Amino acid sequence: MAYVVLFHHVQGLTDGVRAFAEQLRAGGHTVHTPDLFDGEQPATIDDGVAYVKSVGDRLLGERVARAVAELPERLVYAGISWGAAQAQQYAQTRPGARGALLYEACLPITGEWAFGPWPAGVPVQIHGMDQDPFFALDGDIDAARELVATAGPEPAELFVYPGDRHLFTDSSLPSYDPDAAALALRRSLEFLDRLG
């Protein structure tokens, strides 16, 4: 059984994020879903980006830090889109990470804004669509490929699904793709099961 923290995307802790977490729990894992937006659920991605800007990185960073501080050190960090950035930061910087599940986003591991190199021995899975304007067309897929090339195929896997939807894993949004989401879930459960 793995202990997982799943960070939501810019539309907040939606019913779809909760449902995805529940499916991971059904696989025998403990999954925490902190509400980093204090109940706010922006109606669109643009509204969510505006909300993030209005609250500010400092306050949101404090909320993430508080959520993580209450959890065991040996965590799998997971996140969807905006939440994937939070998960990646902690997987790369907090000692004891058991793994990372990054959905629909990946940040560079080199360059000015990187958190540093990917930690040795920490497995990661990255999931995204091949024509998603935020993942595939905005550079995240290149960052994911760099991570896999650097970390190697044993600890790092990239799964690319056909389609142009962002937030395809969220069953409560119009962008939901049930087939791709089911495959991402199955692969995620296999990943978690390998961690023991």
Q: How many domains does the chain divide into?
A: 1
Taking the C-alpha atoms of residue 177 and residue 166, their distance in angstroms, rounded to an integer, is 10
Block residue for tokens 């804004």: 113
What pLDDT is attached to residue 111? Answer: 85
Burial of 22 (C-beta count, 10 Å sphere; 0-12/13-18/19+) = exposed
So what's the pLDDT on residue 196? 72
The dihedral built from the CA positions of residue 19, 24, 29 and 30, taken in this order, carries a sign that is: negative
Q: Which residues partner with 99 through β-bridges?
A: 76
- For the chain, how big is the Rg over CA atoms in Å? 15
- Which domain does 120 fall in, by range? 3-194
The pTM assigned to this predicted structure is 0.96
Task: Give the CATH number, domain containing residue 92.
Answer: 3.40.50.1820
Q: What is the pLDDT of residue 151?
A: 85
pLDDT means over runs of 10, the chain (196 residues): 96 98 97 98 97 96 96 96 97 95 96 88 96 95 94 86 98 98 98 91
| Whole-number pLDDT of residue 133 | 97
> Where does 5-117 have alpha helices with state H?
15-26, 45-55, 57-69, 82-93
> What number of other Cβ atoms are within 10 A of residue 27's Cβ?
16
Alpha carbon separation from 120 to 45, 54, 107, 117 (Å, rounded): 34, 36, 17, 9
Coil/strand/helix, residue 158: strand
Task: List 79's β-bridge partners, or say none.
Answer: 7, 102
Q: How far apart are CA 100 and CA 139, in angstroms?
A: 19
Instruction: For residues 56 and 58, give the distance between their C-alpha atoms in angstroms, rounded to a whole number.
Output: 6
8-state DSSP, 166: S
pLDDT of residue 153: 67
